[in-house]
Amino acid sequence: MRFQDQVVVVTGASRGIGRGIAEAFAKEGAKVACVATSEAGAKATADALADGAKAYACDVSNTESVENLFNQIQEEMGTPSVLVNNAGVARDTLLLRMKDEDWDTVLNVNLKGTFLCIRAVTRSMMKARYGRIVNISSIVGQHGQAGQANYAASKAGIFGLTMSVAKELGSRGITCNAIAPGFIQTDMTESLSEEMKEHVVKTAPAGRLGSPEDVASAVLFLASQESAYITGQTITVDGGLTL
């Protein structure tokens, strides 16, 4: 019960990795603010968690929506001690076919959304002189991927943001770290070809795709008191795929 009564905000909590993260925090006593684009999606997760979880609809790429979200959470749940920036989208296509809106949507949700949520939570965390921020990036942000220039750029940007926030807020008891997942079984990877999935299974020393629980374990460590002296870092959770 490492997070007993702590307020934990998880964006993109309606499904996949975010839902796995929300469940793992709830199991350890946290009051989880489950955020998704729709009230129904967020509520589906919140209802499945322990008492104290609440659902919030928010578009993380929209400044006003994010400001309202954190004001509401502060009022209804109290000061968040953990923020997990997990909401993300992909619009994969080759560079020559990539439309401006494919670029803008992915950068706005994945990178600007992460910035907006961090900015919105910072003041209250600074006041409390405690906070844990965990940003979900990707191995694609470290290594690039054909057909994912927009996604890779957004996820690489998260590393720069993470290190800068770590430097800026470290003296206030706030850490900021990133996770770089490999191939995790969720809606996002559902559309991958069988060939690609087989390649991952054959190449990764772990011999399988990852699960949301695999990512959640690393998130909970970085969100815990035990990780106080770790900041600005990235933990890769890919079963050894990129070795």
Site size toward ligand NAP, by CB under 6 A: 30
Cα distances (angstroms) measured from residue 96 to each of 99, 104, 110, 149, 151: 8, 15, 22, 11, 15
216 contributes a contact to ligand NAP by CB under 6 A: no
186 contributes a contact to ligand NAP by CB under 6 A: yes
98, 107, 128, 188: which one contacts ligand NAP (CB under 6 A)? 188
Shortest gap between Cβ of 100 and ligand NAP (angstroms)?
A: 18
Question: Applying CB under 6 A, which part among 73-81, 85-93, 122-130, 165-173 lies near ligand NAP?
Answer: 85-93
Give me the 94-123 binding string for ligand NAP, x by CB under 6 A, dash otherwise.
Answer: ---------------x--------------
What are residue 85's DSSP bridge partners?
135
23 contributes a contact to ligand NAP by CB under 6 A: no
What secondary structure letter does DSSP report for 2? T
Map 47-111 to HEC letters: HHCCCCCEEEECCCCCHHHHHHHHHHHHHHCCCEEEEEECCCCCCCCCHHHCCHHHHHHHHHHHH
Active site residue 151: yes
**Catalytic site residues?**
151
Give contact residues for ligand NAP (rule: CB under 6 A): 11-18, 36-38, 41, 58-61, 86-89, 109, 136, 138, 181, 183-184, 186-189
